[in-house]
Amino acid sequence: MSDRRTEILKAATRAIARRGVRGLRVGELAAEAGVSTSLIYYHFTDRAGLLRQTLEFISDRADHYTTDEDDPAPRSRDPRADLERVLLGELQDSTDVRENSTAWGELRATAVFEPSLREDLARTTHTWVHDIAELLARADPTGTAPAHAAAAERLTTLVEGLSVRWLSGSLPLDHARRLLRGAVETELRG
């Protein structure tokens, strides 16, 4: 990925996290990223293309803080701890996580009104669910694949829900993390 392209996507994520998707102006984004608006259109064609690529950028960035940098697929001797670590990675009080989660939630909410985002959002969501289902399969080898898939859908949906409750001031972060740990325990109890 070119450095300029990455800089634009970083700036777009930051801008969405600060002012929302509907507050995103390509002109302001260009100024913030230190590039021309024509370079943004060159890389992303149009506003919808920029939003779609930002969605993927956010998803890739989440992979970095939820997994070990040196070993992106966590395979420790404690698969249950790996699962918890990856899920809880989405609920952390760091600038990166807060920015990423805010932008992700905002793109999710915007897709209700902007159908052009839906396909990419569904695909990115599916990849995330798939990754969590794999971790569940390692933590609970006796369970069935459909059971792991359903649990992964519930756990990732819960992460999204807890995240927006936290960011909208309805839930303190430590309590959100406790509820998520409880959900992992509940899902693995079966």
DSSP assignments along 121-152, one per residue: HHHHHHHHHHHHHHHHHHH-TTS-HHHHHHHH
- Alpha-carbon distance of 164 to 170, in angstroms, equals 9
Residues that bind a copy of itself (CB under 8 A): 19-20, 22-23, 102, 105-106, 108-109, 111-113, 115, 117-119, 121-122, 125-126, 150, 153-154, 157-162, 164-165, 167-171, 178-179, 182-183, 186-187, 189-190
Query: Cβ contacts of residue 31 below 8 Å, gap of 6+?
Result: none
- Residue 68 C-beta: closest distance to a copy of itself, Å: 27
With beta carbons less than 8 A apart as the criterion, state whether 111 and 124 touch: no
- Residue 110 C-beta: closest distance to a copy of itself, Å: 8
Q: How far is CA 155 from the centre of its chain?
A: 13
Beta carbon nearer to a copy of itself, 27 or 190: 190
Enter the tokens of residue 169: 């001031």
With beta carbons less than 8 A apart as the criterion, state whether 90 and 97 touch: yes
State which amino acid sits at residue 138.
R
- Residue 164 C-beta: closest distance to a copy of itself, Å: 6
Beta carbon nearer to a copy of itself, 141 or 169: 169
Beta carbon nearer to a copy of itself, 5 or 54: 54
DSSP category for residue 117: G
- Residue 49 C-beta: closest distance to a copy of itself, Å: 18
Beta carbon nearer to a copy of itself, 5 or 124: 124
Beta carbon nearer to a copy of itself, 5 or 100: 100
- Residue 150 C-beta: closest distance to a copy of itself, Å: 5
